[in-house]
Amino acid sequence: MAHNRVTLADVARRAGLSKTAASMVLNGREGTRLSAEAHQRVFKAAEELGYRPNIAARSLRTRKTATIAFVSDIVATTRFASGLIRGALDAARERDHVLLIAETQGDPAFEQHAIDAMLDRQVDGVIYAAMATRRLTVPPALLAGPVVLLNATSPNGLPCVLPDDERAGWTAVTVLLESGHRDRIAVIGRNRLKENDPEVSMAATARLAGIRGALADVGAAVHREVSCPDWLPEHGYAAMRTLLRKPERPTAVVCMNDRLAFGAYQAIAEVGLSVPRDVSVVSFDDDPIAAWLHPGLSTVALPHELMGRRAVDLLLDGTGAGPTLVPMSLRRRRSIAPPA
C-alpha cells in the first residue's frame, strides 16, 4: 500500500539537525553530546510530523523484526481455547511485539505453506500450539530457529508450556476429601486411547495419576471407574446411569472433563437425585457453561491465558528447556457437599 511516509530525514530537517543526530536521539543512544534542547526539538518534530520508525530498515540492522508467529491446529477458531491466543497477544503487546496468527485446521500442506510464509517474514520466533494437550511432531523448518510449543510437547525436548494436569487431578480429589468423601469416590471418563497414545492426549494419564495419588495419600482407592468412548455429555450421561444402577452408588464423582459432567448431571436428575445432596460432582477445564449449570459445577480450570503468556516469555527470554507446567486453579462452586 503506497503512501507518503515521513522519513528520518524529514524529522532531522524540521529539528535543524543532521540525520545521524536525529537517529541517535530517537534510538535513545547515550553519549550523543547533544543538548537537552536539541533532544526536545527532535521529539517535537517527530510528533508533529507523525514519524514512525522504518521497521524493515531497523530489522536489517538488529536482525529483529519484533514479530512472533503463532501457528496452531484449530486453536484460533475454538472458543474454549481462545485464552491461549489472548494471553499470547497480551504478552506480545506488552513487550512491543506483534503476533502473526495462522491456523492450519490440521492440513499438513497448508501448515507448511503457513510456516514458510511466517519464516519468510523473518519472525523472531514461533509458538507452535495445539488445541488438545498432546505430543506432536514439529515441522523440521521450525527447528532452525527459536520455537516454543504451547499445550504440546515433542520428542525433541523443545521448550514447551503445559497445564499441570496431574496436580489438577490431585486438587479435584482433595476438595472431595476435605468435604468428607473418601471410600466411594468414582471416576467417569476412563479412555484407553487417550491414556495410551500421547499423540491423542496427555491430559488423561496425568489427571488419573493425580486422582489416584491423592486417594493413595489417605489410604484409599477409586471406588469405581467407568470407561467412555469419548469425553462428551452423552457418554457422561451413560456412565453416570451405570454407576447409579450399582448396589452401592458413589457419594462423589470425578469427571475427566466438564462435558462428561454435564451428562452426569442429567442422569442424576432423571432418577430423582440431586447434586450435591446425593452425589457431589467435580471435573476439569472450566468450560463457560460450567458456571451456568444448576448448581454451578466445581471444576479445575485450564490456565490457557497464562499459558499463552508463558509461551511468549519463554520465546523472547530464551530461557528453559523441556516442560513448563502452569498450575490449574479450582473454581469452587455449589456441586460439592459432605456425603449424606
What is the three-state SS of the chain?
Answer: CCCCCCCHHHHHHHHCCCHHHHHHHHCCCCCCCCCHHHHHHHHHHHHHHCCCCCHHHHHHHHCCCCEEEEEECCCCCCHHHHHHHHHHHHHHHHCCCEEEEEECCCCHHHHHHHHHHHHHCCCCCEEEEEEEEEECCCCHHHHHCCEEEEEEECCCCCCEEEECHHHHHHHHHHHHHHCCCCCCEEEEEECHHHHHCCCCCCHHHHHHHHHHHHHHHCCCCCCCEEECCCCCHHHHHHHHHHHHCCCCCCCEEEECCHHHHHHHHHHHHHCCCCCCCCCEEEEEECCCCHHHCCCCCEEEECCHHHHHHHHHHHHHHCCCCCEEEECCCEECCCCCCCCC
Q: What is the pLDDT of residue 1?
A: 40
Q: What is the pLDDT of residue 2?
A: 42
Share of the chain above pLDDT 70, in %: 91
Q: What is the pLDDT of residue 19?
A: 85
Question: Low-confidence residues of the chain, pLDDT below 50?
Answer: 1-3, 56, 59-62
Q: Does domain 165-302 have CATH number 3.40.50.2300?
A: yes
Tell me, yes or no, if the two domains 8-53 and 67-163+305-326 fold the same way.
no
Q: What is the pLDDT of residue 75?
A: 61
Task: CATH number for 67-163+305-326: choose from 3.30.430.20, 2.60.40.1220, 3.40.50.720, 3.40.50.2300.
Answer: 3.40.50.2300
pTM, two decimal places: 0.80
Domain ranges of the chain: 8-53, 67-163+305-326, 165-302
For the domain made up of 8-53, the CATH class stated in words is mainly alpha
Q: What is the pLDDT of residue 62?
A: 45
